[in-house]
Amino acid sequence: MIHIQRLVNFSLPHIAFAALLLSLAQPVSAQRIKDIANVQGVRDNQLMGYGLVVGLPGTGEKTTYTEQTFKTMLKNFGINLPDNVRPKIKNVAVVAVHADMPAFIKPGQTMDVTVSSIGEAKSLRGGTLLQTLLKGIDGNVYAIAQGSMVVSGFSADGLDGSKVIQNTPTVGRIPNGAIVERSVPSPFSSGDYLTFNLRRSDFSTAQRMANAINELLGPDMARALDATSVQVSAPRDASQRVSFLATLENIEVEPADESAKVIVNSRTGTIVVGQNVKLFPAAVTHGGLTVTIAEATQVSQPNALANGDTVVTSNSTIGVNESDRRMFLFNPGTTLDELVRAVNLVGAAPSDVLAILEALKVAGALHGELIII
């Protein structure tokens, strides 16, 4: 049971979290623009393909779509199998291949790919990916993947049905396994402006970034469009724009303080308290009852000449213990440091602490947003 009142002059209790992570944020220092923002239009692009892995040591699969894919591959090489023939392909597996295509990557360059089994294959260890087309969301082919995979996991089966699996044997990676065949057009060199998008939207930070750029380049060169975007006038020549951006991304900006938040992970019991979280005057009592029920079995045995029956009876003992929890006070304007000291003295489980925080929020005594994930 939790009671919260607007009271003053009570002492602090002994409370402790079972699992608590407090964000003891230090004063914010200046950061480079390249560390807090991205250039609009300069981004990765996701590619995906469907292919075959061959050469597996009997850890492949024999499914309908695997057979269809295998027959289609043979047909491309002029080999036609009858429809009633089912090839033995325990060394083959169908896989999904995906990769992130970096910005400005050019045809002929290579990139890493990840290969994942989508069938019943037990392991991809020792397999080789055959030529697989990697397509973008527009349906065009941008890269071709092929090569031997690096698989960190392994599995082993025993004759009695026992199994040992280490890591994930059905996912592998091919370093430099895809060759880029087509580049993605970028708007970087077009238009009269460059736009920076903050990774964490904040009106104050956006305005500070615009002011920092204007201090270096002159007035009205940069303007904050909203809480995320800052637009900067830029030269049209591509080479000049590169050197211009190299200068801009190293300008240091002091990000604004984050809004007051308390983040609670109800599954793990982790609680993160932001730097600006404060508490209004409030007194909290948190008490608990421990109920213990003990069952003892007794046997009632009649006398030898009583001509009675033996009866088994139960004797229940119930004990109730109320823990000694005292009311404690959060003084007016309690800061994060003071809150940390109080939290480290609390003797409650994470679920109890969550209940206290929720009650404080409902009572209006918690200055900050309570977010439960």
Q: What does 168-235 look like in DSSP terms, one character per residue?
A: -TTEEEEEEEEEE-SPPP-GGGSSSEEEEEESS--HHHHHHHHHHHHHHH-TTSEEE-SSSEEEEE--
Q: Does the reported pTM lie above 0.75?
A: no
Residue 111 shares a structural domain with residue 141: yes
Model confidence pLDDT, tens digit, residues 258-288: 888 888 887 777 777 777 777 777 666 655 5
Residue 67 shares a structural domain with residue 192: no
What burial letters (b/e) apply to 3-22, b meaning 16+ CB within 10 Å?
ebeeeeebebbebebeebeb
**Model confidence at 340, in pLDDT bands (50, 70, 90)?**
low
Containing H/E element for 145? Answer: strand 141-148
The reply to whether 303 falls in a domain is no
Mean pLDDT, the chain, integer: 77
Q: Is the pLDDT of residue 6 over 80?
A: no
pLDDT score of 259: 80
The reply to whether 76 falls in a domain is yes
pLDDT score of 25: 41
Q: How far apart are CA 109 and CA 128, in angstroms?
A: 21
Contact 166, 123 (CB under 8 A): no
The reply to whether 308 falls in a domain is no
Number of structural domains found in the chain:
3
Model confidence pLDDT, tens digit, residues 70-97: 888 888 888 888 777 777 788 899 999 9
Model confidence pLDDT, tens digit, residues 149-204: 998 865 555 555 555 666 688 899 999 999 999 998 888 888 889 999 999 999 99
The reply to whether 10 falls in a domain is yes
Closest Cα to residue 248, out of 206, 204, 208, 213? 213
The reply to whether 313 falls in a domain is no
pLDDT score of 89: 81
Q: How far apart are CA 248 and CA 32, in angstroms?
A: 9
The reply to whether 235 falls in a domain is yes
Residue 228 lies in domain:
31-40+187-253
Q: How far apart are CA 318 and CA 301, in angstroms?
A: 26
The reply to whether 305 falls in a domain is no
Q: What does 243-286 look like in DSSP terms, one character per residue?
A: HHHHHHTT-EE-PPPPPPEEEEETTTTEEEE-TT-EE-SEEEEE
Higher pLDDT: 240 or 347? It is 240
Q: How far apart are CA 257 and CA 279, in angstroms?
A: 18
Contact 151, 172 (CB under 8 A): yes
Higher pLDDT: 132 or 3? It is 132
pLDDT score of 46: 95
**Mean pLDDT of the region 217-245:** 91
29-38, 144-153, 218-227, 352-361: range with lowest mean pLDDT:
352-361
Model confidence pLDDT, tens digit, residues 16-28: 333 333 333 444 5
pLDDT score of 316: 53
Residue 213 shares a structural domain with residue 284: no
Q: What is the CATH number of the domain that holds 244?
A: 3.30.1360
Closest Cα to residue 248, out of 206, 288, 297, 209? 209
Residue 54 shares a structural domain with residue 155: yes
The whole-angstrom distance between residue 175's C-alpha and the CA centroid of its chain comes to 24
Chain position carrying tokens 């007794």 = 298
The reply to whether 310 falls in a domain is no
Residue 36 shares a structural domain with residue 76: no
Q: Is the pLDDT of residue 144 over 90?
A: yes
Chain position carrying tokens 């956006």 = 206
Residue 93 shares a structural domain with residue 162: yes
Q: Is the pLDDT of residue 14 over 60?
A: no
Name the most confidently modeled range: 72-86, 331-345, 351-365.
72-86
Contact 208, 202 (CB under 8 A): no
Residue 75 shares a structural domain with residue 130: yes
